[in-house]
Structure 1
Amino acid sequence: MDKTLIVTNDFPPRPGGIQAFVHSMACRLDPGQVVVYASTWKGGQDGDGTEVAVFDAEQPFPVVRDRTTMLLPTPRVTRQAAGLLREHGCTSVWFGAAAPLGLMAPALRRAGARRLVGTTHGHEAAWAQLPASRRLLRRIGEGTDTITYLGEYTRSRIADALTPAAAARMVQLPPGVDEKTFHPGSGGDAVRARLGLAGRPVVVCVSRLVPRKGQDTLILAMPRILAAVPDAVLLVVGGGPYAGELRKLAARTGVAEAVRFTGPLPWEELPAHYGAGDVFAMPCRTRRGGLDVEGLGIVYLEASATGLPVVAGDSGGAPDAVLDGETGWVVRGGSPEQAADRIVILLGDPELRRRMGERGRRWVEEAWRWDILAERLKSLL
């Protein structure tokens, strides 16, 4: 692999799925052949950049932080990226998110890059729907050698905005799952004991608390679930801006005693919290006329790796992360009735849960391991 400059807004310690994706891929490349150019982050408990500095120092490759918290393809940022490319002798570039950073591709090619790869997520599919951003996406496709996509949903929408030649060069590159971290023995029993859930049927949802993810749909489904499984509990794992509304909804719906909120958790505690569930459910839905959509839903695959059956919403690319009827089911996003019906069936059938969980685990091992997907990225670079 040629030496690669990774240009990205999405990089830890800033939290998020794209951040984890880019970092996990970077860590599976040859550390001597990687340089990261990223925005900075003022979050964390200190807010003064200390957390970022400590994180960067622990990485096996150089991380160069821009002074801004949001990299945009401005002349200054483009000059900085071109300077890093030449300084470190990089001949390939990976844009952690193609839009908008991929607009720098022509300038970086002039600076010496021979291979340029832009990775798309969910938001590029939304870009493809609006005339102005659609034109920019087309330029990104023309300037890069390859645009990657998460699954068929995002591919079809993004390809429609590209030239036929750029669309033909698209390659699937989804995030992977660490099957050694997410596994059936991840520590769920200890979490159940600590939360006082031992012996109770547990529906778990691990995700950021925002309206699209569908935690509200699960809360609205709980009366129907409790009518069939009276001791069931919904374990809502994660933090986010929707947390307060969700707590109020649980109280208004009369199910507050059957809904547990963990709040934000460090990443290393998530595998055990998946393992605390009998069923994983995140009935995500598409919002804002298709502009707020699920790109893939790696949480379904992490749950499958943990041996859980999954109930997914039909938003965007979420169905790409489920073998419907084999590893779980896809329901209409925003339908408490459909979510409840599938969850009740799973809670009442241990053999079905076992069969779907085992099939999901095998699927992750066959197709979604990080090492398989990192080799694909290496070949593109």
Structure 2
Amino acid sequence: MIGATRVAMVAARAQPEIGGIESHVAEVATRLVREGVDVEVLTTDRTGRLPRVERVDGYVVRRFRAFPRRRDWYLSPGLFWALLRSRHDLVHVQGIHTLVPPVAMLAALLRRVPYLLTFHSGGSSSAFRERARGPQFRLLAPLLRRADALVGVSGYEARRFQQFVGPSIRVRLIRNGGGLPRLVSAIAPDPDLVLSVGRLERYKGHHRVVEALPHLLAARPDARVEILGSGPYEDELLALAERLGVADRVSVRFVPPVERAAMARSLAGAGVVALLSDYEAHPVAVMEALVAGRPVVVSRTSGLTELADLGWARGVEPDADPAVVAAALEEQLSTPVRPSPVELPTWESCVESLLEVYREVLPAAVRPSEAS
């Protein structure tokens, strides 16, 4: 190290809360610490039940109360004041949707500290929120243009936000990685198990996998669906399975993201993994499934289309009927399309690219060295 590089990584939520951004922050922060970067994760806690300060895998997590408790606005005055008082060399904002990103960017501007933002854009089950995204991002554009770097996790996301910041601002592409414990190679996949992954909300598309199951059973009489996640849509999914007469073949299970071995076993044991979401930038769960060697079916929407176009997954149209979805699942079970492991980004390659950005935007005295 040339200097002690102190990075404040700011996100609305962090593990043990679940989600793609939460997983990204944990994977990246751990590896940055190994490269000699002093990482502090600043995040929020609406419940007041999580530790205010804890050390996790070499980095420090500081949590600040956020309001209102039962809404996902994440207004956190404490986080704002902590950033104003901090002595970090760089602020790395993770995510774009809540009130945390503008607060973090404003604090960095006031402190005259370099900042970058990784978008991690996502979908919503609320039609109102989806319609409001454009005005929201246009309001944030002045803060985005002042950033020292902007990062999209997929080509789709980079292009999407390029239109809000203008052609003179470069939005870089740094994909999410994938990584699971090595034990996955010893697990034999179940050729009749369809694993649908993601938080249990309607926009994640689990219902489309359940609707496809009766059609899949015609080709695979022993097929079953396991939905891996938790959330408010669980009762509706189970009721749908009951109406379709497949309740005995649909189950819901939650694996905490910090339990890496259990997650590895779940993904590696599936015959095929599905994510038929309305919107994903570059889903960590899919990358982990691909690293585990499992074939994947995705909806041809947002960043998921990119995975299908790269030949990493088989895609189905967002309006495809259940029989078409079932046919895609059967094809991936019988004659899978999947990438060579050497094609896939890793968390190590993700961190290597981030370090290049850090070196570019930081003064030489605090820049991570090439040898670190």
| TM-score, normalising length: structure 1 | 0.79
Measure the CA separation in 1 of the matches of 2:177 and 2:131: 25
Measure the CA separation in 1 of the matches of 2:341 and 2:130: 34
SS in 2 for 1:165: coil
Alignment partner of 1:361 is 2:355? no
Alignment-derived partner of residue 234 in structure 1: 225
Alignment-derived partner of residue 274 in structure 1: 267
Alignment-derived partner of residue 327 in structure 2: 341
Alignment partner of 1:37 is 2:42? yes
Alignment-derived partner of residue 116 in structure 1: 115
SS in 2 for 1:23: helix
Letter in 2 for 1:29: L
The root-mean-square deviation of aligned C-alpha atoms, in Å, is 2.8
Conserved in 1, the CA contact under 8 Å of 2:116 and 2:149? yes
SS in 2 for 1:240: coil
Conserved in 1, the CA contact under 8 Å of 2:197 and 2:285? yes
Deviation for aligned residue 1:245: 0.7
Letter in 2 for 1:318: L
Specify every segment of 5 or more residues in structure 2 that has no aligned partner in the other structure, as ranges. 68-72, 359-372
Deviation for aligned residue 1:151: 1.2
Alignment of 1:199-278 (within 5 A): 201-265=192-256, 267-268=259-260, 269-278=262-271
Q: Deviations over 1:248-274 (max 9, x none)?
A: 111100112222322455542111111
Q: State the number of aligned residues.
A: 339
Letter in 1 for 2:275: M
Alignment-derived partner of residue 368 in structure 2: none
Alignment partner of 1:141 is 2:121? no
Conserved in 1, the CA contact under 8 Å of 2:16 and 2:256? no
Q: Kindly tell me: are residues 12 and 346 of structure 1, through their superposed partners in 2, closer, same or farther at Cα, counting changes over 3 Å?
A: closer
Q: Kindly tell me: are residues 379 and 71 of structure 1, through their superposed partners in 2, closer, same or farther at Cα, counting changes over 3 Å?
A: farther
Deviation for aligned residue 1:8: 1.9
Letter in 1 for 2:49: D
Measure the CA separation in 2 of the matches of 1:164 and 1:133: 19
Measure the CA separation in 2 of the matches of 1:18 and 1:148: 13
Q: Kindly tell me: are residues 173 and 129 of structure 1, through their superposed partners in 2, closer, same or farther at Cα, counting changes over 3 Å?
A: farther
Specify every segment of 5 or more residues in structure 1 that has no aligned partner in the other structure, as ranges. 193-199, 286-292
Alignment-derived partner of residue 175 in structure 2: 174
Letter in 2 for 1:12: Q
Instruction: Give the structure, 1 or 2, with the largest relative contact order (CA under 8 Å, sep 6 or more).
Output: 2
Residue 94 of structure 1, aligned match among 85, 92, 95: 92
SS in 2 for 1:171: strand
Deviation for aligned residue 1:374: 0.4
State percent identity of aligned pairs. 22
Deviation for aligned residue 1:81: 0.5
Q: Kindly tell me: are residues 204 and 301 of structure 1, through their superposed partners in 2, closer, same or farther at Cα, counting changes over 3 Å?
A: same
Alignment-derived partner of residue 370 in structure 2: none
Alignment-derived partner of residue 20 in structure 1: 23
Q: Kindly tell me: are residues 252 and 327 of structure 1, through their superposed partners in 2, closer, same or farther at Cα, counting changes over 3 Å?
A: same
Alignment partner of 1:378 is 2:371? no
Conserved in 2, the CA contact under 8 Å of 1:238 and 1:263? yes
